[in-house]
Structure 1
């Protein structure tokens, strides 16, 4: 099963227009907007879909009332959909759509959809670093930072879910869908990646009481740590409230900056995540602040020498 990762997240929200504005300000492109729904897309086509909470096009909400209604995963080809359908139909109903995509609920009750991925391949410049003792990545007179940098989310990175039974949820994704465990925060849950994605994680499962079930946050990858700082600063100065960061995680090594959102969860900018193959041996450490982040910054308004005199 060559599952690539999340293609889209589908939300049913009571505050439709507020969420539309939020996702545009976050940096996603508005690719659809009408009276019933909206789509906000990253550069590779991965996206967030918004519906009014009472839309008949949505799956039923979880008992917890989470605004997340569906997770859409992309696979490489039609054969992968056939493999998933054959496996999951052993113990539950699998809905097959006209376009060949399939839908079902996981063991925790989350609605899932699998489709041939709609991601497009990106060919964009990376963030270049000049490091003493190493060959410079930027040529003479090539600036590392200038005013024409256009910061935009490149791809939907990962989803973090609150689940009532972490062990059961992990077994479903690993044993039934071929996900692999990369690391474990003891007392919290595992980081997982699908087989056709070498990012440290596309899914992180957090054990919580049933009434909290839902989505804790989702993240889009940016080009690098500089873009995380630029995007986060832009977002904060637009009036949005930071939740955590900026900083850098231990597991995954990704830079992060989280914000509160009107989608009933947090949203993250991230960049520079570790890559893993099947030879990687998962680490397991007790949860703590030290285990969660290597370092953490606090935003301050721009300052210049003498400005406070």
Structure 2
């Protein structure tokens, strides 16, 4: 099944104004009707939590109502429909989205992808032995756009990660790496990204979304976008830093959507020849390094305050 990756996430929220401002400040572009998109057209849809058109809310406090994946073609939609119809209701809406509910209660949708193909350079670096940027081409600037390019991945809290993984295996997701006793990083067959979905074992009352993220053009864009976000008053939760599994740079922020929201960049790519690794969960295996944000400082002034 050629599932390419996440197309959009749907949230049912209490405070539409706060969530709208958050996504705009994060860098997504407004499309109207509560829809926001990255440069490739993937994005986030906001609805008020009482909107009757939303899928039924989970029994927990999670505000995520639906996860919609993009697929390559109609044949993939038909394959998904045939597989899912074996043991659960499946519908296809007027919007062309095929819908069902997974074994953990997450509402899922699948549609032929409407992502736009991006023709943008990634971040270039210069190093002895490899001049990556052209002569006189700046590596960074104060006015660099640093905009989200593509919806990268979503992380679920689930009460049974083994059962959840088995469900997504039916859709062609494969494990790329695993935290022992926690859960797998999963990649659908239509992408080489290290993961589109990460499952974290938690008690049932925590079931829901932990975070979602968009790919940026490189680590400087993660740092730039994150710094601008902090300067607008949003609270950093974790980062910036660089993960071990996936190798992606990261910076997480608190949000009014009831989950964390991340900027990420430079994720590993894997194919069928990759052998999944396993690691014990913990700080030593979660990141190679971690920075702590502080306000700008220059030599000659007062010493910078100690990190909190």
With structure 1 as the length reference, what TM-score do the two structures score? 0.96
Secondary structure in 1 aligned to 2:47? strand
- Residue of structure 2 equivalent to 1:16: 16
2:102 corresponds to which of 94, 101, 106: 106
- Residue of structure 2 equivalent to 1:87: 83
2:231 corresponds to which of 237, 249, 272: 237
- Residue of structure 2 equivalent to 1:296: 290
Secondary structure in 1 aligned to 2:144? coil
- CA RMSD across the alignment: 1.0
Distance (Å, rounded) in 2 between the aligned partners of 1:270 and 1:166: 24
Distance (Å, rounded) in 1 between the aligned partners of 2:231 and 2:112: 38
Contact 1:248 1:255 (8 Å CA) reproduced = yes
What's the offset of the Cα at 1:141? 1.5
- Residue of structure 1 equivalent to 2:27: 27
* Cα distance per residue 1:197-244 (max 9 Å; x no partner): 100000000001111000000000000000000000000010000000
The equivalences for 1:1-309 within 5 A come to 1-33=1-33, 38-134=34-130, 136-174=131-169, 176-308=170-302
Distance (Å, rounded) in 2 between the aligned partners of 1:139 and 1:64: 52
Aligned residues: 303
Distance (Å, rounded) in 1 between the aligned partners of 2:97 and 2:150: 21
List runs of 5+ in structure 1 lacking aligned partners. Answer: none
Contact 1:246 1:255 (8 Å CA) reproduced = yes
Distance (Å, rounded) in 2 between the aligned partners of 1:12 and 1:167: 28
Moved over 6 A (4+): none
Say if 1:99 and 1:308 are closer, same or farther in 2 by CA, change over 3 A.
closer
What's the offset of the Cα at 1:131? 1.2
Contact 1:248 1:295 (8 Å CA) reproduced = yes
What's the offset of the Cα at 1:99? 4.4
List runs of 5+ in structure 2 lacking aligned partners. Answer: 304-308
What's the offset of the Cα at 1:151? 1.2
Secondary structure in 2 aligned to 1:228? helix
